[in-house]
């Protein structure tokens, strides 16, 4: 490793909520989800180049099919780095877990570039809302206690704070207070990251940066009272993380991707 490689920031790509399907023609509200993921990946490679780590943070499949997870693994093969996959409310855990293991993407605790990454499973079978089991909360606490000197990024699928959208209030993380009681014990936590809400969200809580990211397919309208989508391009989030704990992050979008969004739907 050269001195330049040793000192440059760790580049982390978050891809979330691709909602892939077994069918090549699988679409969500008129948007072909394979095509939109392909467009986002092409945009990442054009604008950012190769990341060092990919976090795929839930609703990887709309139908929970083995084929959808196979497609995801195939698409991520264009990157020269490892990935880690999380389950969302639309995922089926068994085929996801098998596919992730084949790609080495079943890691829950990653030490890389002077950071610790902790991936939590907030999915509840058959439910849209999320919850962290006692074992997940224990895992979080133990992982953070193991590396108190490393800045940490904690990621899950469901939003652990109110995002100002009435219809999403009941489908976030149900036991968020239990989650924050653990996080508040460990000042090395710099970032809490999630998907699920199909939009950008940023706020601060006790010195921790809270972040959500656009979907690689359709986007939900921010601040909406009822289910609503908006005509924004599919996106991703990019991080550059310094071992000091400093970081920068930006959302990018595949602005050249052409699609016709069904904006009259009452759900998905």
Mind giving me the DSSP string for 42-89? Answer: HHHHHHT---SEEEEES--BSS--HHHHHHHHHHHTTSSSEEEEE--T
**Backbone φ, ψ for residue 111 (5° rounding):** -110, 115
pLDDT of residue 27 exceeding 50: yes
Decide which of 222 and 264 is more confident.
222
pLDDT in tens, 79-132: 999 999 999 999 999 999 999 999 999 999 999 999 999 999 999 999 999 999
Percent share of the chain, pLDDT over 90: 88
pTM of this structure: 0.94
- What's the mean pLDDT when you consider all of the chain? 94
Q: What is the mean pLDDT of residues 138-143?
A: 98
- When pLDDT is cut at 50, 70 and 90, the band that residue 228 belongs to is confident
């Amino acid at each position: 490793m050269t001195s330049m490689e040793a000192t440059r920031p760790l580049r982390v790509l978050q891809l979330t909520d691709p909602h892939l399907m077994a069918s090549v023609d699988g679409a969500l509200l008129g948007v072909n989800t394979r095509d939109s993921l392909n467009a986002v990946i092409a945009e990442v490679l054009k604008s950012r180049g190769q990341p060092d780590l990919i976090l795929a943070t839930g609703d990887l499949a709309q139908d929970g099919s083995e084929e959808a997870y196979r497609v995801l693994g195939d698409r991520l093969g264009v990157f020269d780095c490892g990935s880690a996959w999380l389950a969302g409310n639309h995922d089926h855990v068994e085929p996801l877990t098998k596919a992730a293991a084949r790609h080495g993407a079943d890691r829950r605790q990653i030490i890389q570039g002077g950071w610790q990454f902790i991936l939590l499973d907030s999915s509840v079978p058959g439910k849209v809302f999320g919850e962290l089991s006692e074992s997940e909360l224990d895992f979080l606490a133990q992982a953070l206690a193991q590396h108190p000197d490393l800045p940490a990024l904690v990621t899950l699928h469901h939003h652990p704070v109110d995002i100002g959208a009435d219809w999403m209030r009941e489908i976030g993380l149900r036991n968020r207070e239990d989650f924050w009681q653990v996080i508040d014990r460990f000042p090395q936590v710099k970032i809490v990251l999630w998907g699920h809400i199909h939009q950008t969200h940023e706020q601060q809580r006790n010195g921790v940066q809270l972040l959500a990211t656009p979907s690689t397919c359709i986007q939900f309208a921010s601040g909406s009272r009822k289910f609503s989508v908006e005509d924004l391009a599919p996106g991703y989030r990019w991080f550059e993380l310094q071992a000091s704990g400093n970081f920068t992050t930006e959302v990018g979008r595949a602005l050249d991707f052409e699609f016709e969004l069904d904006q009259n739907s009452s759900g998905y």
